[in-house]
């Protein structure tokens, strides 16, 4: 950990990639976790464009359940440590695969959401997108002011990442001195490819996770443990 502290002190440009493990420490179920009713469904039944076209009410019922869970959780010390780190580094970019908004609640500002936000909706008819913090909608599925069907503004399986967000993430990875990979399984592409991009561009890569991943053997430093414990120690 001492070496990583030194790298942080020396770094002028830091990029961070976070995954579900960071939010799991706040009590957020990981993507494939669910209770009761949802155990009978596969991810493909709930998080794909075809699933929404087939049964938008079922998909919205699931997202309303997810919203209700997220409404009760708070950022953990790992989220707050990253927000503090952003204030100390001249150039800092937080790239997240999470859709829960906990990084922003903790105070992070320069956040690239690769998979969108569960707290935003988008109209399938007019394309209007907006923040919507409601958990209970007057009707399910909800409708836009134009009368079109609203969907969660998240990236579903089979959909491309937003091109502008992805380009910004690539630029951040390529220009970083230090790249932190935190709480992600490192198996979901293209996000996991940012690690190789950063390393091939000259950045030191540090992984923080409770268990080793396919990336662990190819990076500069692996810190094993919960990010909510290790990140505050790193920036202390």
What is the SS3 assignment for the chain? CHHHHHHHHHCCEEEEEECHHHHHCCCCCCCCCCCHHHHHCCHHHCCCHHHHHHCHHHHHHHHHHHHHHHCCCCCCHHHHHHHHHHHHCCEEEEEECCCCCHHHHHCCCCEEECCEEEEEEEECCCCCEEECCCCCCCCCCCECCCCCEEEEEECCCCCCCCHHHHHHHHHHHHHCCEEEEECCCCCCCCCCHHHHHHHHCCCEEEEEECCCCCCHHHCCEEEECCHHHHHHHHHC
- Phi/psi of residue 75, nearest 5 degrees: -60, 150
- Phi/psi of residue 91, nearest 5 degrees: -130, 115
Q: What is the pTM of this model?
A: 0.94
Q: Is 115 a catalytic residue?
A: yes
CA distance 212 to 168: 27
Burial 156-185 (b: 16+ CB within 10 A, else e): beeeebbeebbeebbebbbbbbbbbbbbbb
Burial 204-230 (b: 16+ CB within 10 A, else e): bbbbbbeeebebeeebeebbeebbbeb
Token code pair at residue 31: 């993507």
Q: What is the pLDDT of residue 136?
A: 84
Of 156, 155, 75, 81, the residue nearest 112 (C-alpha):
155
Q: What is the pLDDT of residue 41?
A: 80
Residue-by-residue pLDDT tens, the chain, 236 positions:
999 999 999 999 999 999 999 999 999 876 555 555 566 788 778 999 999 999 999 999 999 999 999 999 999 999 999 999 999 999 999 999 999 999 999 999 999 999 999 999 999 999 999 999 998 898 999 999 999 999 999 999 999 999 999 999 999 999 999 999 999 988 778 988 999 999 999 999 999 999 999 999 999 999 999 999 999 999 98
Q: Of 2, 115, 128, 145, which one is the catalytic site residue?
A: 115
Q: What is the pLDDT of residue 35?
A: 54
* CATH architecture for segment(s) 2-28+74-114+161-235: 3-Layer(aba) Sandwich (3.40)
Q: What is the pLDDT of residue 34?
A: 53
Chain centroid to CA 80: how far?
15
Q: What is the pLDDT of residue 188?
A: 79
Start-end of CATH 3.40.50.1220 domains in the chain: 2-28+74-114+161-235
User: What CATH topology corresponds to 36-72+123-154?
Assistant: SIR2/SIRT2 'Small Domain' (3.30.1600)
How many CB atoms are closer than 10 A to CB 35?
A: 9
Start-end of CATH 3.30.1600.10 domains in the chain: 36-72+123-154
């Amino acid at each position: 950990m001492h070496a990583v502290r030194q790298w942080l002190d020396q770094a002028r440009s830091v990029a961070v990639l976070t995954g579900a493990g960071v939010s799991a420490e706040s009590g957020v179920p990981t993507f494939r976790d669910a209770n009761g009713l949802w155990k009978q469904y596969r991810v493909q039944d709930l998080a794909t464009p075809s699933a929404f076209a087939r049964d938008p009410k079922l998909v919205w019922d699931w997202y309303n359940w997810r919203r209700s869970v997220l409404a009760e959780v708070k950022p953990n010390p790992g989220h707050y440590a990253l927000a503090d780190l952003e204030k100390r580094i001249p150039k800092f970019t937080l790239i997240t695969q999470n859709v829960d908004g906990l990084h922003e609640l903790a105070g992070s500002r320069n956040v690239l959401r690769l998979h969108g936000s569960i707290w935003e909706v988008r109209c399938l008819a007019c394309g209007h997108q907006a923040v919507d913090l409601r958990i209970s909608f007057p009707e399910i599925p909800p409708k836009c002011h134009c009368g079109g069907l609203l969907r969660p503004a998240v990236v579903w399986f089979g959909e491309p990442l937003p091109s502008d967000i992805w380009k910004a993430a690539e630029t951040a990875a390529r220009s970083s001195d230090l790249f932190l990979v935190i709480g992600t399984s490192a198996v979901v592409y293209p996000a996991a490819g940012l690690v190789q991009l950063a390393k091939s561009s000259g950045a030191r890569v540090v992984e923080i996770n409770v268990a080793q991943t396919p990336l662990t053997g190819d990076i500069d430093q692996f810190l094993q443990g919960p990010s909510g414990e290790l990140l505050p120690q790193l920036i202390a």
